[in-house]
Amino acid sequence: MYTEKNTLRETVDRGDAVIPFYIYHHYWSQYNLYLHWHNEFEIIYMEKGFSVFTVDTLPIKVSAGQCIIVNSGQLHSAHCMNNEFSQHHALLFDLNFLSGISSDYCHSKYIAPLLKGQFRLPLIVDEKSQWGSEVIREVREAIKIYDSKELGWEIGIKASLYKILSFIARENKFLIEESSTTSSINYKINIIKKSLNYIQNNYTKKIYIEDLANEVNMNPQYFCRFFKKNIGKTPVDYINQYRIEQAVKIIKTEDKNISDICFEVGFDNFSYFIRKFKQYKNCTPNKYKQLF
C-alpha cells in the first residue's frame, strides 16, 4: 500500500483497470493494516474468522457474514486478534463510476449527496436483517462477477453497486452528516491526520515527540496520551510500523541491499530494524525478499 506525498491518502497502483472498481482478497492470521485513507468507498466482506477495524477512531469487531463500509476520506486501520485466521474481500470503487448526468434524478437524490459527504453509507451490514442479507448477497455477486470477468462483467458490477445502494435507500439507512454533532469528531480526526502526515513527510529522518506535538499545538505528554488513545499505539510504535511498510514497498519494487533499505526508511540501527521487521512481518527482511 502506498500513500500520496503530504497526505495519508492511499495511492495503490490499481493497474490497468477499465473501470474504477477493484477487489482485493485478503487472508490474515498475523497482520496490522496501518492507518490510512483513500478517496474510494470500500466495502469489506468478512467471509471467515474476524478482524478488528478502526474507522475514524471507532474500533469495531467484524465477524464472518458481516460487511463493514468505509466511506470516502475516512481514516481506517485493521488488525487480527490472537493470531486468529480471517478471510475477507475488499471492494473499492470510485462513486463517480455511478454518476449520471447532472439532471439525472438518481444522481441528484442519492449519488451527489454521498459524493459531497452529506450522506454516508452505514458502517456495519449484517446478514441477520433482511436488507443486510440482500446487501451481502449482492456483494458476493459482485465478487463473483469481478473474479470471472465474463463478457459484460462491467455492466454487472455497476448493476450490483446500484442494487446495494437501492437496498440501503429502501430501508432509509443512509447516515446524514450533521455538522453540529460531528464537529468534535472532525476536530479529532483532523489532528490525527495532521500528526500522521507529519510522520509520513519526515519518516526518513529522526522524529522527535516534541516536533509532533508542536505540529498540532499540544503539550508532548498530552499528545502521547491523545495519540495512544485514538490510534491504539504510541507514536514510536506507529513510526516504526510505517517505516517497515515503506521498507516492504522498496523490497517489492527495487533491488537494493537490506542494509541500504534500513537507513533509507529512517532506521539508524540495523539490528533494531531487523527486530522490528520480524515483529511486523513475522520473518526477516531477507526472507521476505526471497518471497518476491
For position 266, which CATH number holds? Answer: 1.10.10.60
Look at residues 119, 150, 176 and tell me which one is the last residue of a structural domain.
Answer: 176
Q: Are residues 139 and 191 in the same domain?
A: no
Q: What's the farthest any 2 CA atoms get from each other in the chain?
A: 61
255-263: long-range pairs with CB below 8 Å, 24+: 258/285, 258/286, 258/289, 261/285
Cα-based distances in Å from 116 to 3, 107, 108, 119, 226: 23, 12, 11, 8, 29
Q: Are residues 158 and 275 in the same domain?
A: no
CA dist 242 and 18 (Å) reads 31
Q: Are residues 231 and 282 in the same domain?
A: yes
Does residue 44 sit within a domain? yes
Whose CA is closest to 29, among 86, 97, 70, 74? Answer: 86
Look at residues 147, 176, 205 and tell me which one is the last residue of a structural domain.
Answer: 176
Q: Are residues 154 and 192 in the same domain?
A: no
DSSP string, 52-112: EEEETTEEEEEETTEEEEE-TT--EEEE-STT--EEEEEEEE-GGGG---TT-HHIIIIIH
Q: What cell numbers appear for 59 in the block?
A: 474500533
Place of cell 475516512: 74
Does residue 137 sit within a domain? yes
The pLDDT of residue 137 is 97
Does residue 9 sit within a domain? no
Does residue 28 sit within a domain? yes
CA dist 289 and 285 (Å) reads 6
Q: Are residues 121 and 209 in the same domain?
A: no
Residues 6+ apart with CB under 8 A from 172: none
Place of cell 469487531: 61
The pLDDT of residue 179 is 55
226: containing domain: 182-291
Q: Are residues 39 and 162 in the same domain?
A: yes
Residues of the chain with pLDDT under 50: 1-8, 11-15, 180-181
Q: Are residues 149 and 215 in the same domain?
A: no
Look at residues 129, 154, 176 and tell me which one is the last residue of a structural domain.
Answer: 176
Q: Are residues 167 and 74 in the same domain?
A: yes
Q: How many CB atoms lie within 10 A of CB 51?
A: 24
Does residue 166 sit within a domain? yes
Does residue 268 sit within a domain? yes
The pLDDT of residue 180 is 46
Q: What cell numbers appear for 121 in the block?
A: 453509507
pTM above 0.85, yes or no: no
CA dist 160 and 137 (Å) reads 10
DSSP string, 121-152: --SEEETTSHHHHHHHHHHHHHHHHHHH--TT
Q: Are residues 171 and 28 in the same domain?
A: yes
The pLDDT of residue 1 is 43
- Counting every residue, how long is the chain? 292
Q: Are residues 158 and 192 in the same domain?
A: no
65: which DSSP letter? T
Does residue 14 sit within a domain? no
Q: Are residues 163 and 195 in the same domain?
A: no
Q: Are residues 186 and 85 in the same domain?
A: no
CATH number at residue 61: 2.60.120.10
The pLDDT of residue 10 is 53
Residues 6+ apart with CB under 8 A from 115: 72, 95, 96, 99
The pLDDT of residue 102 is 63
Does residue 16 sit within a domain? no
Neighbour-count burial for 159-184, b at 16+ CB within 10 Å, e otherwise: ebbebbbebbeeeeebeeeeeeeeee
Query: How many structural domains compose the chain?
Result: 2
